[in-house]
Homo-oligomer: A and B are copies of this chain.
């Protein structure tokens, strides 16, 4: 089947989640981040994801914004940076205006020009995602933004991936699902999407029972994978 719909994970895939810590480290007043921002960004992301999985298993769903703050609070304490309310607030503010990776706007424009449907499918809540989409200026080249909030459970639960067919119809293998999170690409493969794992960090492939159909290092070849 030809690909009709290209669906993208948001955080880490279109938007650079490390940008908040990296950018704050370059700002006056936050010099103490200069050495610690990579560790902080890594812990922040790790705990944010762990908390989504643990909440999915226990049925204790919460808005991704709450989970993002929970992960940051753990990470700040682990790096000895807790207690600085201005730093915490600045990092949270920056999370609403994360930089898109440089190839993103043209890649999405090419897909739309080629007649494909495009969407985001994310753990994020719609207000967070709208903030990031507006900040990156990619609203015009996305047909929709789909959030787990409408099903009340986080990825990789199958009811999240169900949202794509509910919105766009078609078959599972009409969909090219793109994620920089290996576990998300794996989960979507298990669900039945054609998947691409964007391995930006050059990490080992996850040893899960499903493998991504494609492994990329950035998003520049997505339109080829979509058949354009």
Q: Which residues of A contact B (CB under 8 A)?
A: 46-47, 50-51, 53-58, 60, 62, 70-71, 73-74, 77-78, 154, 156-158, 183, 186-187, 190, 203-209
Contacts and interface: CB of A to CB of B under 8 A. Distances in A.
B60 A207 contact: no
A47 B207 contact: yes
A54 B51 contact: no
A28 B71 CA distance: 41
B156 A54 contact: yes
A94 to B, nearest CB: 20
Contact of A74 (B70, B186, B206): B206
16 contacts: A51-B206, A51-B208, A53-B54, A53-B57, A54-B187, A56-B57, A58-B157, A58-B187, A60-B190, A60-B209, A70-B207, A74-B204, A74-B205, A74-B207, A77-B204, A78-B203
Contacts of A56: 57
Contact of A57 (B57, B77, B205, B209): B57
A104 B153 CA distance: 38
A58 B190 contact: yes
A58 B156 contact: yes
A226 to B, nearest CB: 26
Contacts of A46: 46
A175 to B, nearest CB: 18
Contacts of A73: 204, 207
B57 A156 contact: yes
A92 to B, nearest CB: 14
A71 B207 contact: yes
A66 to B, nearest CB: 9
Nearest to A186: B54
